[in-house]
Amino acid sequence: MTTFSTHEITNQPPPFEDLNLYTSDAALQEAVMREGGGHAARCLVAFGLVCGSADSQERARLANDNRPQLATFDHQGRRIDLVNYHPAYHELMQISCAEGLNCASWLYLTKREQDPVVDQQVARAAGLYLATQMEPGHLCPISMTHASVPVLLMQPSVAEIWLPKVVSRSYDARREPIEVKRSATIGMGMTEKQGGSDVLANTTSAEPLGGDGEYLLTGHKWFLSAPMSDAFLMLAQTAEGPGCFLVPAYLPDESRNGLALQRLKNKLGNRSNATAEVELQGAHGWLIGELGNGVKAMNEMVTQTRLDCAVSSTALMRQALALAIHHAEHRNAFGRKLVEQSLMVQVLADLALDVEAAVALVFRLARSFDRRQDEHAYAWWRFMTPVTKYWTTKIAPPFIFEAMECMGGNAYVEELPMARIYREAPANAIWEGAGNVLALDVLRVLQREPDIASVVMDDLADAVGDDPHLKAAYTRVQSILHEPRLLDGRARAFVEGLAVLAAGTILRSHAPAPVADAFIATRMGSLNRQTYGQGVDWADTQAILQRASPNR
Ligand SMILES: Cc1cc2nc3c(=O)[nH]c(=O)nc-3n(C[C@H](O)[C@H](O)[C@H](O)COP(=O)(O)OP(=O)(O)OC[C@H]3O[C@@H](n4cnc5c(N)ncnc54)[C@H](O)[C@@H]3O)c2cc1C
């Protein structure tokens, strides 16, 4: 074949694979230990190896290149409403369920595993962070299933049947009634054509069937991810207001429920995960909680998935950064490695600062989910969940683009995962509360639960210490609270300012000085910057970059 070989390849980085995603990530390991997830360190080391393996990366490629396909009818015209996934998708599901990402926070409820209750969320968030870098799309059903448990617990008769199957490390993809399955996954159906953020505008209705909480649902859901889930938590209107219902795929008599899939969305990214439009044709649902309280019930699930969106966006940024640093460490341009060239060092180090800050924020938030009985943790959970989701999911898309640019043309080509990571990122921002909705949620706390906001603001006031930039940032954020136009004019400024301030205080207390100094000075100082790689020329960028390198 020598006649066709045109050249020797001398300046391309080695493949970025078979890397332990946990042990190669200093910021992650420190955050896990700091926030109480240290008990899971050994499992995370093992899982880091699985997620970073070449086999897992190949599964990710296959599950995304071979999108799920909808079969509405069989060859004789009977409705089957089946979504067929590539085998690699099922393997990914199996890996993540075995790790407990669908259930780890709740294993103590089943008494099958006597895990300590405290700090399971931190350990699970770390697992989710690693699994996102393996493949993010399959984590949609994993995240929804995990988040469904607090809602299921609101209705003991439903929980008795479903909890033992939902809280399980096994994955059972069979389309069978719950009674014969080893485990179950749960989806959520809120968004309709009329409204996604404004779910009260929706028209799907529920009529009571008898006195035992069974209802008939009629209507339509416009986005229903993971449509092969064993059941869905759905919102529907009743005479008493919106209710939350568990709508199973199969009925107790083993017949199929009235969920008719119309088509699958042709999405920008998130391609391994199917998202369907579905008609509810007299679908049977079982009431969860009280009639009229459906939105409140669903909020438990929504808050939990908002944490997952923040963790996922942070993980996507870490993955993009690691790819970019790996490339720069091996690629020569103009006679020197890219990583030895000043402008590139500044861009990469500057990117690394945002990952450090996002990691600090999301793991502090995860700890608050574990410790909600504590007043300070509760306040952080309620107030900082929308703040953290807002900031991490919003900075991810431009961040990933900058990391892509660091790798040049190779990153724009589909063989590397960067293009897929880039397409994936916006979904976390749109789903479970887009930016304005999150900002309005923060305002709601300020107006209706000002004591909760005060606890967080007081904690931050203590944490700023003597740092002049942090002090000034705190004063700026605090002053917005007293502006008359906060409600309609300054909500985003407040939320963004609060996220950056909170991250800065954690970094100041716990990160190496080069990281904390550079993040605080550039994100809270007077520099007016629109893109990365500015304002860090004075900083110890080598130290920042060395710490961030996946090849340390
Ligand atoms: C990949 C993917 C998967 C999804 N899976 C599911 C699923 O499984 N189940 C499900 O129920 N939904 C799902 N969704 C839908 C998603 O939750 C909604 O798209 C989201 O809640 C936004 O709703 P919407 O699309 O109706 O937009 P809208 O509610 O119309 O919002 C549009 C914009 O208006 C802004 N806005 C809204 N209200 C205000 C206001 N008062 N003031 C200022 N701005 C405002 C929002 O921030 C947003 O930017 C999925 C979406 C995606 C992209």
Pocket probe mutation, ligand 1, options 142, 301, 430, 492, max atoms within 8 Å of Cβ = 430
CA 434 – ligand 1 centroid, Å: 6
CA 368 – ligand 1 centroid, Å: 26
Pocket probe mutation, ligand 1, options 437, 440, 487, max atoms within 8 Å of Cβ = 437
- For residue 2, the model assigns a pLDDT of 55
Residues 6+ apart with CB under 8 A from 312: 128, 129, 132, 136, 139, 143, 428
Q: pTM for this structure?
A: 0.97
Length of the chain: 552
The mean pLDDT of the chain is: 95
Q: Which of 265, 247, 264 is nearest to 256 (CA)?
A: 247
CA 11 – ligand 1 centroid, Å: 44
Q: Which of 224, 226, 382 is nearest to 299 (CA)?
A: 382
Tell the residue nearest (CA) to atom 21 of ligand 1. Answer: 196
Q: How far is CA 533 from CA 217, 347, 503, in A?
A: 54, 4, 19
CA 448 – ligand 1 centroid, Å: 24
CA 199 – ligand 1 centroid, Å: 9
Tell the residue nearest (CA) to atom 49 of ligand 1. Answer: 434
Each residue's pLDDT tens digit, 383-405: 999 999 999 999 999 999 999 99
Question: Of 284-293, 322-331, 478-487, which gets the smallest average pLDDT?
Answer: 478-487
CA 178 – ligand 1 centroid, Å: 31
CA distance 116 to 389: 27
Pocket probe mutation, ligand 1, options 313, 424, 431, 492, max atoms within 8 Å of Cβ = 431
Q: Helices then strands (H, E): number in the chain?
A: 18, 11
Each residue's pLDDT tens digit, 174-210: 999 999 999 999 999 999 999 999 999 999 999 999 8
What angle do the packed helices 375-406 and 491-510 form, to 10 degrees? 90
pLDDT at 3 over 70: no
Output the six-digit token pair for 434.
């887009």
Tell the residue nearest (CA) to atom 35 of ligand 1. Answer: 436
Each residue's pLDDT tens digit, 280-318: 999 999 999 999 999 999 999 999 999 999 999 999 999
What's the gap between Cα 156 and its chain centre? Answer: 28
Q: Which of 62, 190, 207, 215 is nearest to 134 (CA)?
A: 62
Tell the residue nearest (CA) to atom 1 of ligand 1. Answer: 427
Residues 6+ apart with CB under 8 A from 447: none
CA 468 – ligand 1 centroid, Å: 39
Q: Are 389 and 306 within 8 A, CB to CB?
A: yes
Count of CB atoms situated within 10 Å of the CB of 199 = 17
Q: By percentage, how much of the chain surpasses pLDDT 70?
A: 97
Each residue's pLDDT tens digit, 212-250: 899 999 999 999 999 999 999 999 999 999 999 999 999
- For residue 151, the model assigns a pLDDT of 98
- For residue 5, the model assigns a pLDDT of 75
Q: Which atom of ligand 1 is nearest to the CA of 197?
A: 29
- For residue 526, the model assigns a pLDDT of 82
- For residue 119, the model assigns a pLDDT of 81
Each residue's pLDDT tens digit, 159-175: 999 999 999 999 999 99
Q: Are 204 and 235 within 8 A, CB to CB?
A: yes
The residues lining ligand 1, judged by C-beta closer than 6 Å to any ligand atom, are: 187-191, 195-198, 223-225, 267, 270, 275, 427, 430-431, 434-437, 440
Pocket probe mutation, ligand 1, options 197, 270, 275, max atoms within 8 Å of Cβ = 197
Region 141-164 average pLDDT: 97
Question: Can you name the residues that pair with 259 across neighbouring β-strands?
Answer: 280
**For the chain, what is the largest distance between any 2 Cα atoms, rounded to a whole number of angstroms?**
81
CA distance 58 to 543: 33
Residues 6+ apart with CB under 8 A from 509: 463
Q: Which atom of ligand 1 is nearest to the CA of 434?
A: 47
- For residue 148, the model assigns a pLDDT of 98
CA 191 – ligand 1 centroid, Å: 7
Pocket probe mutation, ligand 1, options 67, 223, 309, 428, max atoms within 8 Å of Cβ = 223
Tell the residue nearest (CA) to atom 41 of ligand 1. Answer: 437
- For residue 542, the model assigns a pLDDT of 97
CA 437 – ligand 1 centroid, Å: 9
CA 196 – ligand 1 centroid, Å: 4
Tell the residue nearest (CA) to atom 45 of ligand 1. Answer: 436
CA 313 – ligand 1 centroid, Å: 17
pLDDT at 525 over 90: no
Residues 6+ apart with CB under 8 A from 63: 85, 86, 88, 89, 92, 135, 137, 138, 272
Q: DSSP 3-state assignment of 246?
A: strand
- For residue 113, the model assigns a pLDDT of 61
pLDDT at 528 over 90: no
In the block, tokens 């045109």 appear at 6
Name the DSSP class of 255. P
CA 432 – ligand 1 centroid, Å: 7
Name the DSSP class of 14. P
Name the DSSP class of 210. S
CA 312 – ligand 1 centroid, Å: 18
Q: Are 239 and 287 within 8 A, CB to CB?
A: no
In the block, tokens 């690691």 appear at 322
Element containing residue 259 per DSSP (H, E): strand 259-264
CA 480 – ligand 1 centroid, Å: 27
Each residue's pLDDT tens digit, 92-143: 999 999 999 999 999 988 866 655 556 899 999 999 999 999 999 999 999 9
Tell the residue nearest (CA) to atom 43 of ligand 1. Answer: 436
Q: Phi and psi at residue 235, in whole multiples of 5°? A: -95, 140
Each residue's pLDDT tens digit, 256-266: 999 999 999 99
CA 233 – ligand 1 centroid, Å: 17
Q: Which atom of ligand 1 is nearest to the CA of 437?
A: 47
CA distance 515 to 504: 10
Output the six-digit token pair for 67.
């999108």
In the block, tokens 């397409």 appear at 423
Tell the residue nearest (CA) to atom 23 of ligand 1. Answer: 196
Each residue's pLDDT tens digit, 412-441: 999 999 999 999 999 999 999 999 999 999
CA distance 517 to 363: 20
Q: Are 392 and 314 within 8 A, CB to CB?
A: yes
Q: Which atom of ligand 1 is nearest to the CA of 191?
A: 11
Render 374-406 in DSSP notation, one character per residue.
SHHHHHHHHHHHHHHHHHHHHHHHHHHHHHHHH
